[in-house]
A = this chain, B = another copy of it.
Amino acid sequence: MRFEQITIVGVGLIGGSVGLAAKARAVAARVVGVDPNPANLSAALSRGALDAGTPDLAEGVRGSALVVICTPVDRVAPVIRAALPHVGPSALFTDAGSTKARILADLGPDAEQLPYVPAHPLAGSEKSGPEHARPDLFEGRPTVLVVGTFGANWERAVTVGRFWEALGSRAVLMSAEEHDRVLAVTSHLPHAVASAVAGVTHEDWLRVSAGGFRDVTRVAAGDPDLWAAIFLSNRAPVLAAVDSFTARLAAFRALLEAGDRAGLVEWLREGKQVRDALGT
């Protein structure tokens, strides 16, 4: 798998890492970056993640066989619509957005006819910006590919899937709805919960905290604007995940208030079983 030229739109942590991985693994001969922020472009250029950068979308996508959109999730559909007139007839689009159904809804009823294969590499960091980009960010990580109806789209999905695999990740196929429902629990809920724990902690208590607090709250350092966009783009599944979590924590509270030791042990054991299945 080798592209003559790809374009990355949105050169932050993820976009910068796509560039670094594509260069390091010779997936693209030339990588062009598009970003409204000149500081992002120059940081990515100086780190070798890009060969060229421009704030102009039309100019940036011209001549590219693949456009990888790594903007905040609510910008993906508008960027595809705006870029479409400026790419060649065989160009493909993919993205790294954290939710999928909303992007497809925003694209409208002909979304499945567009040369777009929605993707979500499950990689990231509480840090943001191209200065934290890493060529190995996707290594061994799953990348969800949304493939609705097959047929005409099958070849596109294979090409885009091979691209994400060439960056080091492994492809997992799901529907947009399944992706969003599962990620609401495995990603969006943990983020909300981490932020809520941090939010009820006085800063002068931090000196009496240990590794557990550090781990549980780590993602709360993430970018508030990015995460607000993610939550809003996956509203119903996140609300359902919060409700299910709240009911489970209420069960804990009732057991604790009743002083039910056996019940608490069993409640903790159920969580431990899931966590142990994940490994360290």
Contact = CB atoms under 8 A, between A and B. Distances in A.
Each complex incorporates copies of this chain amounting to 2
A1 interface: no
A234 B239 CA distance: 31
B264 A231 contact: yes
A267 B195 contact: yes
A166 interface: no
Contacts of A231: 256, 264
Contacts of A209: 122, 186-187, 278
Nearest to A241: B200
Interface in A242-257: 242-246, 248-250, 252-253, 256-257
Nearest to A188: B212
A78 interface: no
A205 B216 CA distance: 19
A196 B249 contact: yes
A271 interface: yes
A268 to B, nearest CB: 4
Interface stretch (A4-12, A44-52, A54-62, A221-229): A221-229
Query: Which of A179, A238, A253, A274 has most chain B Cβ within 10 Å?
Result: A274
A253 B235 contact: no
Contacts of A261: 228-229, 232
A211 to B, nearest CB: 7
Q: Is the interface of A mostly helix, strand, loop or mixed?
A: helix
A231 B259 CA distance: 9
A24 interface: no
A206 B276 CA distance: 11
A79 interface: no
Contact of A203 (B214, B225, B277): B277
Nearest to A186: B209
Interface in A151-203: 172, 174, 179, 182-183, 185-187, 189-203
Interface of A: 122-125, 141-142, 144, 172, 174, 179, 182-183, 185-187, 189-203, 205-222, 224-225, 227-229, 231-232, 235, 238-239, 241-246, 248-250, 252-253, 256-257, 259, 261, 264-278, 280
